Structure 1
Amino acid sequence: MARKAVVLFNLGGPDSLEAVQPFLYNLFMDPAIIRLPKPLRFLVAKLISSRRAPVAQEIYGHLGGSSPLLPQTEAQAAALKTALSDSNPVDEYEIFICMRYWHPLSAQTVQSVKSYGPDEIILVPLYPQYSSTTSASSLADWHGAAKSAQLEVPTATLCCYPLENGLISAYSTLIAEKIEGMDLSRTRILFSAHGLPQKIVDAGDPYQWQIEQTATGIVEKLARPELDWKICYQSRVGPLKWLQPSTDDEIAAAGAAGLSLVILPIAFVSEHSETLVELDIEYAELAKKSGVPHYKRVDTVGVSDDFIAGLADVVLRLTPGAVTSGQGGRICPGKFSDCALAS
C-alpha cells in the first residue's frame, strides 16, 4: 500500500472582516498578479489593499463576514477522498488543502503533508483552466515552501483539465436543469469567466483559449443547436485593458434585445464572493435594470458526482514526476508560451 497525499489548490478567502485587508495584501503582493519589482509591488499592494478593503468588507458582509471557499473546498476534499478510496482501495489517500492568499497557506500545508509522510504527492489545482495568475502561481508557491521544508517526495502535477469529461457533464446537467421550460429562442447562455488583463494573454497565457475549450465542450455536450451562447469576463479591476466582452456589457446587451439570461461561472468550481455576490446580487440587479426578462444563475459544480468522479479519474492516471493535463499531454497551441507544458 502506498500513502498518497493529494493537495487541492484554491484562491482562499478571508475568514473574518478583519482578515479582508491582509488577504487583499497577499493577493496584490503576488508577482503573478502585480508584475513589478518587489519594492514597487509592496507599495502598490499596500495602497490597493487599503483602498479596496472597505468595499470588499461590504461584499463579505453579504456572506456573513467571511468567505465560504474553505468549507466548500473541504467538502470537495472529503468527496474526492471517498471517490479515490473507492476506485483504488489498494492505496491510502489523504487530501490536503492549500490556499494561495489566506489560510491554510503553502508553508502550513507543506508541514502537514510532511508530517503525514507520503510516498507520493499529487498536486491538483481547483482551477480547470490554466493561467500564470492562478495555477502557476499556486504551484510555484508550493514548490518554494516544499524546498524550504526539505519535502522531497515524488510529485505528480495536474496543470489543467478544461475538457475533463466529468466537468463538462456536470455543467451540462446543471445548465439543462436551468433551461428546462424556457423559450430558447429568447434566451442566451453567458459563460462568465473571471477576467484577466489582455496583456497577460498577449504574453502567452492560455487561459482565454482554455475557457473557450470548456464552453465549446459544454455546448457540444448539450447538443442543442438552437442554443444562443457567448463567453464573457467579470471582475475587472484597475485601468488596464481586460479581456472582452465584459459580463456587465453582455447583460445590458441582452436586456436591450429582450433576451432572458442563464449565466454560468465557467472558471469556478466552488461558490465564493464572485458567484454569491457579484453574480447573484450585483449582476441580478443589473439584469433587472437592463430589462432582462428572466435571469438565472447556474450553480458551480461543487461536489457533484460527475465532477468529483472525473477529478478522481484524472488523479488516478497521473504519473509521479510529471506535469500533465487532464487530457494526458499538452493541449495548448504552441503560441501559448506560458503553458505549463511549454518546452
Structure 2
Amino acid sequence: MDLPAEPAPPPGLSGSRPRLAVVLFNLGGPDAPESVRPFLVNLFTDPAILRVPGWVRPWLGRLIAWRRTKPASENYAILGGRSPLLELTLEQAAALEAALNAEGSVEAKAFVAMRYWHPMTEETVAQVKAWAPDEILLLPLYPQFSTTTTGSSMLAWDKAARRAGLDVPTTTLCCFHSDPAFAAATARIVRGAWDKARAELDPAVKLRILFSAHGLPESIVTAGDPYQWQVEQSVAQVVDRLGIEELDHVVCYQSRVTPQKWIGPSTEAELERAGHDKVAVLVVPIAFTSEHSETLVELDVEYREEAEKLGVPGYFRAPAQNSDTGFVAALAGLVRAARASGRSLCSFAGARQCPKACRDCPHEKANADRRAKVAA
C-alpha cells in the first residue's frame, strides 16, 4: 500500500540550512517523433522569437512550424527520434545540486524548466512551490543573454509564478559570458579538442578555430539585444586562456531560419573561406552548454559534409560542456556569488540592456559604449 507523501515543511523549519531552489532554464526539445510539431508551434508562436504583430503570430507561427516539421523530424530521426537535451540538463542539475549540498551552507534542490517542451515553466513552478523553498535562484544555461532565450524564459517564469502564487525571494543570474571559471572550464575543453585535432593533422596543415554561436536577426541586435557583444566577450576570455600563440580564430553564427538579414559571418561562409585557405577547422559551440540537434546534427553531420565538399582539409568539433566538472564548479560558484550579492547579477532587459536597479553591473559601461557605436 502506497503511503501519502509527507507535505513539505514550512520555509525555515527544515533545519538550520536555508532551502534553496535553483531553477535551470533551457530550450527543450521533442521527446518523441509526434512531439516535433507541437514543439515547433510553441517555439514559433513565442513573441520573443516571431516578432510580428500579435494578431498574425498564432497562424503565421503555426504555418512556419508546419513547414519545418518534416526537415526537423529528419534531423531528430538521426538522434533516434528525440532530443537528448532534457536528459543532459537533468544530469547538469543533479551535478550542480550535489556540488551545492556538499558545501553545507544550504539545502539545495535543482529543478529544470524547459521553454518549449516538457517540463515546461508552469510544471516546474508547481514543483518548486510544493518543495517550499526559502529562496529561489534562476539560472539559465545560456552563457550569453538574449531577449530570445533567457529573456523569454524569465518572462515565462514571472507569469507562471504570479499565477501559481509563488511568492519567494528570487535572484536571477541572467548571464555569465565572461565569468573566469566558466571561461577556464570552456578553454580546457577546447584545448583538449585542439590537441587531439593537431595530433591527427599533418603538421603542415594549419588549424583555425570557428567559435560558432546560434545566430539572430540583425534587427534584434541593433534594437539593443546584447547577445552578439556577449558572445564576443566569451570568445575573448576563452582565447586568452587557451594560450596558443598567434591563434587563428573567428566568431561565426549558425542556424539561420528566416529570410531577414542575420548577424554574421555565417558558419557556412567561414567553412567556405577555410576551404579556400586550405586550413582545417575546429568548431567550438560557444553559446551551447549541452549537446542537442544544433551540435549533434547541424555541426556534426551537415557542416561536416559541407566542409568535405568545400575541400576543408580537416573538420573537428569540440564538445559542449554538458556535466564537465569544471563547468559544474563554475555554475556552483555563480550561484554562491549571486546569493551573496543580494541582487540579480548582470541583468538585461531588451533594448534597455541593464535595468535601473542594476546600473552598477560591471559590464554596463562596455554595453553603453557598444550601443553608442551602433547608434553612430
Q: Give your verdict on TM over 0.5.
A: yes
**In the alignment, is residue 8 of structure 1 matched against residue 37 of structure 2?**
no
Partner deviation per Cα, 1:170-210 (whole Å, 9 max, x = no partner): 22112211222354871100000000000000000000000
**In the alignment, is residue 168 of structure 1 matched against residue 200 of structure 2?**
no
Which position in structure 1 is the counterpart of 2:14? none
Identify unmatched segments of 5+ residues in structure 1.
Answer: 338-343
Partner deviation per Cα, 1:5-41 (whole Å, 9 max, x = no partner): 0000000000011111110000011111111232200
Question: Which stretch has the larger CA shift, 29-38 or 289-298?
Answer: 29-38
Partner deviation per Cα, 1:198-238 (whole Å, 9 max, x = no partner): 00000000000000000010110011122100000000011
Aligned counterparts, 1:9-48, within 5 A: 9-48=25-64
Partner deviation per Cα, 1:238-290 (whole Å, 9 max, x = no partner): 11000110001100110111000000000000000000000000000001111
Greater Cα radius of gyration, structure 1 or 2: 2
CA distance in structure 2 between the aligned counterparts of 1:45 and 1:83, rounded to whole angstroms: 40
The verdict on how the C-alpha distance between 1:184 and 1:154 changes in structure 2, with shifts beyond 3 A counting, is farther
Which position in structure 2 is the counterpart of 1:214? 234
1:164 Cα offset (Å) = 1.6
Which position in structure 2 is the counterpart of 1:325? 346
Select which of 254, 258, 261 maps to 2:281. Answer: 261
**In the alignment, is residue 237 of structure 1 matched against residue 257 of structure 2?**
yes
CA distance in structure 1 between the aligned counterparts of 2:245 and 2:178, rounded to whole angstroms: 20
Aligned counterparts, 1:95-110, within 5 A: 95-110=110-125
**Which amino acid letter does the alignment assign opposite residue 73 of structure 1?**
T
1:330 Cα offset (Å) = 4.2
Select which of 299, 302, 310 maps to 2:330. Answer: 310
What root-mean-square deviation, in Å, do the aligned CA atoms of Structure 1 and Structure 2 show? 1.6
Aligned counterparts, 1:86-165, within 5 A: 86-87=102-103, 89-165=104-180
Select which of 78, 87, 93 maps to 1:77. Answer: 93
The verdict on how the C-alpha distance between 1:157 and 1:37 changes in structure 2, with shifts beyond 3 A counting, is same
Select which of 24, 29, 50 maps to 2:66. Answer: 50
1:90 Cα offset (Å) = 3.0
**Which amino acid letter does the alignment assign opposite residue 331 of structure 1?**
H
The verdict on how the C-alpha distance between 1:145 and 1:335 changes in structure 2, with shifts beyond 3 A counting, is farther
> 1:262 touches 1:297 (CA, 8 Å); kept in 2?
yes
Percent identity of equivalent pairs: 48
Which position in structure 1 is the counterpart of 2:9? none
CA distance in structure 2 between the aligned counterparts of 1:247 and 1:318, rounded to whole angstroms: 34
Provide the secondary structure at the position in 1 that maps to 2:112: strand
> 1:3 touches 1:91 (CA, 8 Å); kept in 2?
yes
Alignment length (residue pairs): 335
CA distance in structure 2 between the aligned counterparts of 1:269 and 1:132, rounded to whole angstroms: 18
**Which amino acid letter does the alignment assign opposite residue 267 of structure 1?**
A
Identify unmatched segments of 5+ residues in structure 2.
Answer: 1-16, 348-359, 372-376
> 2:284 touches 2:319 (CA, 8 Å); kept in 1?
yes
CA distance in structure 1 between the aligned counterparts of 2:291 and 2:342, rounded to whole angstroms: 32
**Which amino acid letter does the alignment assign opposite residue 92 of structure 1?**
E
The verdict on how the C-alpha distance between 1:330 and 1:41 changes in structure 2, with shifts beyond 3 A counting, is farther
CA distance in structure 2 between the aligned counterparts of 1:334 and 1:184, rounded to whole angstroms: 44
Provide the secondary structure at the position in 2 that maps to 1:262: strand
1:322 Cα offset (Å) = 2.4
TM-score normalised according to structure 2 size = 0.86
> 2:205 touches 2:280 (CA, 8 Å); kept in 1?
no
Which position in structure 1 is the counterpart of 2:77? 61
Kindly indicate whether structure 1 or structure 2 has the higher relative contact order, using CA contacts under 8 Å at least 6 residues apart: 1
